């Protein structure tokens, strides 16, 4: 039996719930978030909420999927105007700074860290992370082919370091920065990361 067609109102409600859930997961993490809290934040009835998402796990995976889609679309659009792979690689970091001006964007790093330990969904979470690593590693390989990065650097290892640094800066900032200064500090440190990438460059 085919699934019922999604109405514009249903699609809008689903998008609203994903945004609400992303904000709550970013604040509390997966383990500390309950469906009751999510339902209360949404303002919907329990029945209306469960019509769209039947479990916290299903909702969390949908948040990861949606936020990553938004990230990739935003990053690809931001880097598309750059003339060469090395400049596109640099632009990824700056694009992520813009993405993380939305506090709910931090939900992805928290959720992937929490859900990778949950049996049955860990492979899905790893696939999402592999997409990011593949994008960055692909740019590194292109920059190496252009002669702008040394071929002695392993592209997959450098991609893992850069992605880990990006996520790590979010977590560290949450520990050491006052909320009022967190965004500016994150942007400053991401600019430092770009300068570190520049130091690898083979450009004259």
Q: What is the pLDDT of residues 43-75, one digit of tens each?
A: 999 999 999 999 999 999 999 999 888 888 988
Give me the mean pLDDT over the 3-26 stretch.
Answer: 85
> Does the pLDDT at position 1 exceed 50?
no
Q: Residue 16 falls within a domain, yes or no?
A: no
Would you call 24 exposed, middle or buried from its count of C-beta atoms within 10 A (0-12, 13-18, 19+)?
Answer: buried
% of the chain exceeding 90 in pLDDT = 51
| Site of tokens 């859930």 | 21
- Maximal C-alpha separation, the chain: 63
Q: What is the CATH number of the domain that holds 166?
A: 1.10.357.10
Q: Residue 2 falls within a domain, yes or no?
A: no
Q: Are 63 and 25 in contact (CB under 8 A)?
A: yes
Q: Could you tell me the residue range of the domain that residue 181 belongs to?
A: 62-200
Give me the mean pLDDT over the 93-104 stretch.
Answer: 82
Q: Residue 170 falls within a domain, yes or no?
A: yes
31, 25, 52, 174: which is closest to 108 by C-alpha? 25
pLDDT category, 5, cuts 50, 70, 90?
Answer: low
Q: Residue 43 falls within a domain, yes or no?
A: no
Considering the entire predicted model, what is its pTM? 0.83
| Domain count within the chain | 1
Q: Are 155 and 137 in contact (CB under 8 A)?
A: yes
pLDDT the model gives residue 60: 93
Q: Residue 76 falls within a domain, yes or no?
A: yes
77, 80, 100: which is closest to 88 by C-alpha? 80
| Site of tokens 């929490």 | 114
- The more confident residue out of 77 and 113 is 77
Q: Are 74 and 100 in contact (CB under 8 A)?
A: no
Q: Residue 184 falls within a domain, yes or no?
A: yes
Q: Residue 5 falls within a domain, yes or no?
A: no
Q: Residue 21 falls within a domain, yes or no?
A: no
């Amino acid at each position: 039996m085919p699934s019922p067609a999604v109405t514009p109102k249903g699609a809008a409600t689903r998008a609203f719930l994903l945004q609400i859930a992303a904000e709550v997961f970013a604040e509390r993490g997966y383990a500390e978030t309950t469906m009751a809290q999510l339902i209360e934040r949404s303002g919907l009835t329990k029945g209306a909420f469960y019509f769209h998402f039947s479990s916290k796990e299903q909702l969390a995976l949908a948040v990861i999927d949606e936020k990553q889609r938004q990230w990739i679309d935003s990053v690809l659009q931001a880097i598309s105007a750059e003339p060469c792979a090395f400049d596109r690689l640099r632009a990824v970091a700056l694009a992520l700074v813009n993405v993380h001006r939305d506090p709910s964007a931090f939900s992805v790093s928290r959720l992937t860290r929490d859900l990778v330990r949950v049996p049955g969904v860990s492979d899905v979470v790893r696939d999402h992370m592999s997409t990011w690593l593949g994008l960055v590693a692909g740019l590194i390989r292109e920059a190496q082919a252009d002669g702008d990065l040394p071929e002695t650097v392993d592209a997959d290892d450098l991609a893992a370091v850069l992605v880990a640094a990006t996520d790590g800066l979010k977590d560290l900032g949450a520990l050491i920065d006052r909320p009022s200064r967190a965004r500016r500090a994150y942007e400053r440190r991401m600019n430092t990361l770009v300068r570190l990438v520049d130091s690898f460059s083979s450009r004259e």
